[in-house]
Chains A and B, each alone.
Chain A
Amino acid sequence: MFAWLIMPAVLFSIGVYGMLTRRNAVGILISAELAINAAAMNFVIFNRFITPVKVDGQIMSLFIIATAAAEVLIGIAIFVMLFKFRKTTDVTRMNQMKN
């Protein structure tokens, strides 16, 4: 089973890396979505190898997709408000500190 978990791990790392380095606000949300999908993939893998008879893992991944959508919606709402005040989507230019 561990060989199968490598891919979600790689996807999750790419997602975290993207969240930490993207300058565009939407890019951060995309990366967040990627990380969440990797976690959902993990659930499916566990379902296939630990409880192959039941479908709990797959149901969980459906919940995750819905939750991710809601969360990204809220994120977009916040960024739209920020864009109204800051006139830019560059997150490095969001703070009002000097330098």
Chain B
Amino acid sequence: MEQILNYEFILRHAWLIPAMPLLSFLLLGLFIRPLSAKLSGIVATAAVSASAVLSCVLAWGYFHSAAGSPVTLVPWSVEWLRYQAHLSASIGVLVDPISVLLMVVVTIVSFLVHLYSIGYMYGDKGYGRYFTFLNLFTFSMLGLVVAPNILQMYVCWELVGVSSFLLIGFYYEKPSAVAACKKAFIVTRFADLGFFIGVLILGFYGYKIFNEAGAAVTGQPFDFAFLTSPAFLEKFSPLESGIPGVALITLAMVLVYMGAAGKSAMFPLHIWLPDAMEGPTPVSALIHAATMVVAGVYLVARMFPVFAAAEHALTVVACVGAFTSLFAAIIGCTQDDIKRVLAFSTLSQLGYMMFSLGVATVKDSAGYTASMFHLFTHAFFKALLFLGAGSVIHAVHNNDIWKMGGLAKKMPVTHLTFLIATVSIAGIYPFAGFFSKDEILSAALNGGHPVIFGTGLLVAGLTAFYMWRIYFVTFWGKARSDGAGHAHEAPVVMLIPLVVLATLSVISGFVPFAEYVHLGPPPEHEGVNMAVAIPGTIAGVLGIAIAWFMYSSGATRAASFVKAMGSIYGHIKNKFYFDEIYLFVTKRLVFRLVAAPIAWFDRHVVDGGVNLTGWCTRTSGALLRFLQTGQVQTYGVWFVAGSMFVVLILWAMFI
């Protein structure tokens, strides 16, 4: 066992970390799922727990051996598809501060979600199928995170999209779930179009520059190590695109960002995330809170030097991120479904991570570290919030917060852990959310972006408000429905992940993150920046206070406030009608004007051509049928006619 847990061993065999969920997926899908449901859960959880243990040992060993200047290693790589000597696609494992960080986050949260699901999905008839898909997702996400080149990342990007599709549409008999999973897949696929075009641009010019550089570079043109190296960036940045005033690198990076924006649900591609809550709650916790949606943030972080070399790409990232966080926070204040509120909260926090990357520069990379730190802490408290919501929904059998109430005494563990997560997300010292939010806001302020800093502060206040709104309405007061009246605590197997995540939400803020994850030289750590901490804490406390004022004793004060707001409240509650706008554009415009003519063409012209050959054959056969009458007289006619014809020919030839 000591030999297996040795850091060197794990480093050489780092491919085991994504391979074990893959193996488990294949075993479950092919053999175990048809046989025994209970065994599926156990095998799936065991595989992911093994990956989690290996990741933690790897992280411990990696960060302690790096000692301040972490190196990028590719301990395992296999060439998979070879076009030429200098153009091949390979699959491999990249070990790097952010990939090790995400390996730890993904495997730990996935393991806890697996454990929780053993209790949550008990008795469901799709139990085995659920764990198969969860393992597929874990493998895909790990494959994405450890990708050493952009092609493997793209393949795994699509794989996580597929897994998300399968899991959102898990309850496939519900039409709303089917509509939601289609929407998620189509929106992210559309965004991936932009991503792929960006990859092609980078690959094309990368290949040219790679060949010109000759012996100075190693590896392949699609490797991240090459794409982020100065050798490539120097030659690539001055290139012009066809559009005046836009450099080619900016165009390529904005297209790549389109893919990241789709996966991380930035405005205007955010529409799929609230609907994705149709999936089972542990799925929402894993995919749409902690892991898949951070794939976009991870992509931007991975390609950060290229983004930084492009002139306005980071500005686009920052603006979209800041706008999304504000937009989602405003909508989140009005929703009644507990999972929708958490979905909008995720959108808002992802906006935080994005704009934090957007305000960073190569010289002052505090935003980069802050974004990764927030990703780390957010994964824990957001997963905890979702799992706690799942526990509540499991007890009350309803998602609506106004049908809950008074659950604090009936579900003590759930209540306490949910409270810890809510305090953490509101950014109260000394919980983890305070530290990560503080770092993001100070990166924005020190980077000279006061508007973004102000937006971030406002969003912090709104976050505290809507989170405490659902906390008060769900757990305090009197039970508002029968379900809430008969609620009881969740089984132990569901409570253990809650407790673990609550502990992590508290202590993960104290990890000396900046030493481990940074770009360039390690930043000097000044401690807590009071100019940012005090306004941030005030915003959080103000949000909590307003929520307490409005919601703690029933909702009468809130109701009168809503009435005073008038019709604006309705607009916000309908998510500013964006879903309706998208439906209008797709149904009325795209379907009618573009898709219907193409479908008509396909059905009548293309299929018509094929049908025509069949029709010709059949008709000629029907006509020839009349030759075979079975009557000798008919044959006699043809005989006489034929013989006269021959005589005529002979006569014409010999006259």
A92 to B631, CA, bound (A): 6
Nearest residue, chain A, Cβ from B632: A91
Pick the interface stretch among A16-24, A42-50, A52-60, A75-83.
A16-24
Q: Are A21 and B630 in contact, with the CB atoms below 8 A?
A: no
Nearest residue, chain A, Cβ from B635: A20
Interface residues of A in 1-52 (CB under 8 A from B): 16, 19-21
A17 to B80, CA, bound (A): 80
A69 to B479, CA, bound (A): 117
Nearest residue, chain B, Cβ from A95: B630
Select one of B629, B630, B631, B633 contacting A19, CB under 8 A.
B633
Residues of B within 8 Å of A19, CB to CB, are 633, 636
Interface residues of B in 593-644 (CB under 8 A from A): 629-633, 636-637, 640
Interface residues of A in 68-98 (CB under 8 A from B): 91-92, 94-95, 97
Nearest residue, chain B, Cβ from A92: B631
Q: Are B640 and A16 in contact, with the CB atoms below 8 A?
A: yes
Q: Are B640 and A20 in contact, with the CB atoms below 8 A?
A: yes
Interface size on A (CB < 8 Å)?
9
Q: Are A20 and B633 in contact, with the CB atoms below 8 A?
A: yes
A20 to B639, CA, bound (A): 10
Nearest residue, chain A, Cβ from B636: A20
Residues of B within 8 Å of A97, CB to CB, are 630
Residues of A within 8 Å of B631, CB to CB, are 91-92, 94-95
Residues of B within 8 Å of A21, CB to CB, are 633
Nearest residue, chain A, Cβ from B641: A20
A20 to B630, CA, bound (A): 14
A19 to B631, CA, bound (A): 12
A97 to B625, CA, bound (A): 13
A95 to B635, CA, bound (A): 13
Q: Which of B629, B631, B636 has the most CB of A within 10 A?
A: B631
A97 to B636, CA, bound (A): 18
Nearest residue, chain A, Cβ from B634: A20
Residues of B within 8 Å of A95, CB to CB, are 629-631
CB A13 to nearest CB in B, in angstroms, measures: 10
Residues of A within 8 Å of B640, CB to CB, are 16, 20
Nearest residue, chain A, Cβ from B637: A20
A65 to B637, CA, bound (A): 26
A20 to B640, CA, bound (A): 9
A20 to B637, CA, bound (A): 6
Q: List 18 A-B contacts (CB under 8 A).
A: A16-B640, A19-B633, A19-B636, A20-B633, A20-B636, A20-B637, A20-B640, A21-B633, A91-B631, A91-B632, A91-B633, A92-B631, A92-B633, A94-B631, A95-B629, A95-B630, A95-B631, A97-B630
The 8 closest A-B pairs by CB, nearest first: A95-B630, A97-B630, A20-B636, A20-B637, A20-B633, A92-B631, A16-B640, A95-B631
Residues of B whose CB lies within 8 Å of any CB of A are 629-633, 636-637, 640
15 further interface pairs, Cβ-Cβ under 8 Å (given A19-B633, A21-B633, A95-B630) = A16-B640, A19-B636, A20-B633, A20-B636, A20-B637, A20-B640, A91-B631, A91-B632, A91-B633, A92-B631, A92-B633, A94-B631, A95-B629, A95-B631, A97-B630
